[in-house]
Amino acid sequence: MPHWSDRVQQSAERILTRRRRRKWKARRKQAQKSTLWSWIESFLWAAVVVLILNQYLVQAYVIPSGSMIPTLEIGDRIFVNKVVFGPELIPGYGKLPGFSEPERNEIVIFENPSYVSRGPVVELFHRLVFMVTLSMVNLDRDELGRPREQFLIKRAAAYSGDRLRIREGRHELRPEGESEWMSEESAMELHGIEYPVRRLIDEDALGTFEAAGAVRAYQERGLRPSSAMRSDANTAEAQRVTDRFALARGYHLTNYQIAPNEAMLARRFADADTGWYVPADHIMGLGDNRDNSRDGRDFGPVHTDAVLGRSMVRYWPFDRFGTID
């Protein structure tokens, strides 16, 4: 039979063993907590670094539409230089001074003038998530689940002092200081620049849309257009896409010719005929894919303060990696 002193010693050893086990478990639990917190801390620091880089230096964007084809394809991922024009102080508010102003021909990103904010807190949250995920997650969606375009990427096709108009489907420019209108190609040559312009409408059908607009105006007033006008209108209707601006000019011109005494018709014709004027410190952003682009022709010139950056490089898909012109 064990001596009572042996039993005391065994009990003490069991107590010490349990105590050591508890301490070991506590140290292990603390080590696990430290590892988890270390991971969380590292993630938070990485997120902060990404936010700072995206907000003030270089931001990643994904191209959501085909408006810039062939220069940029749907799904292209690009980096935008935000330093050059001055980044926003915080997302959506304030603007720091930049090193230059947007110039003709540059592909720039700017705030969508038609974007309707859902409030500063929601907008800030959406933009932070967008930047942290390098544009891979866009929570800002409409009722149908489609991403809402808060930013647009277009080419600065017209600059301060320019006038832009459309004649027979073709864009014409009258740069500041010039007395004559010139084709967009001639304007490029004048300024020593070159960029691709994609048209989806057949070349021979470009001029038929003004006739189609005229036929619509005649029909609305119960008048009969000429057979030549109807033929041109049929050619325009056979196209896959519509030159809505040439259509509008033909419509307003015909209405004005029928009733030149109506002031409202005169104003609408003047707007459609004169085209667009780009004020000082503004740019006219147009898509290179002219017949499939919602751009400055819809919402007008944008102020340079709304321009957030200049396209820099395409990093995905990798087989088309390179600078963007």
pLDDT, average across residues 296-300: 94
**Are the C-beta atoms of residues 311 and 63 closer than 8 Å to each other?**
no
CATH number of 63-115+150-194+286-325: 2.10.109.10
Which H or E element spans position 236? Answer: helix 227-237
274: three-class secondary structure by DSSP = helix
The pLDDT value given to residue 32: 56
The pLDDT value given to residue 33: 58
Q: Which amino acid is at 223?
A: L
pLDDT tens column, 28-77: 666 555 666 777 777 777 777 777 888 888 988 899 999 999 999 999 99
What backbone phi and psi angles, to 5 degrees, belong to 153? Answer: -115, 115
On the question of pLDDT at 26 being above 80, the answer is no
* Helices first, then strands: H and E counts in the chain: 8, 12
Tell me which residue of 290, 254, 258, 294 sits closest to 273, measured CA to CA. Answer: 254
On the question of pLDDT at 155 being above 80, the answer is yes
Q: Extract the tokens encoding 226.
A: 């000429």
Owner of token pair 């304007």? 187
Distances (CA, A) of 142 to 46, 118, 147, 179, 291: 30, 11, 6, 45, 24
Tell me which residue of 56, 116, 100 sits closest to 81, measured CA to CA. Answer: 56
- Beta strand residue intervals within the chain, DSSP E: 58-62, 77-81, 107-111, 151-158, 163-167, 170-174, 182-183, 276-277, 282-286, 302-303, 307-316, 322-323
The pLDDT value given to residue 208: 94
The pLDDT value given to residue 161: 93
Domain residue spans in the chain? Answer: 1-50, 63-115+150-194+286-325, 199-277
The pLDDT value given to residue 115: 85
C-alpha to C-alpha distance for 95 and 84, rounded to whole angstroms = 12
On the question of pLDDT at 16 being above 60, the answer is no
Give the range among 20-29, 177-186, 312-321 with minimum mean pLDDT: 20-29
Tell me which residue of 209, 74, 233 sits closest to 147, measured CA to CA. Answer: 74
Owner of token pair 């102020």? 303
Average pLDDT value for the chain: 86
Q: Extract the tokens encoding 268.
A: 């609408």
310: three-class secondary structure by DSSP = strand
pLDDT tens column, 195-229: 999 999 998 899 899 999 999 999 999 999 999 99
Enter the DSSP assignment of 108.
E
C-alpha to C-alpha distance for 67 and 72, rounded to whole angstroms = 8
pLDDT tens column, 159-172: 899 999 999 889 99
The pLDDT value given to residue 23: 66
Owner of token pair 């930047």? 131
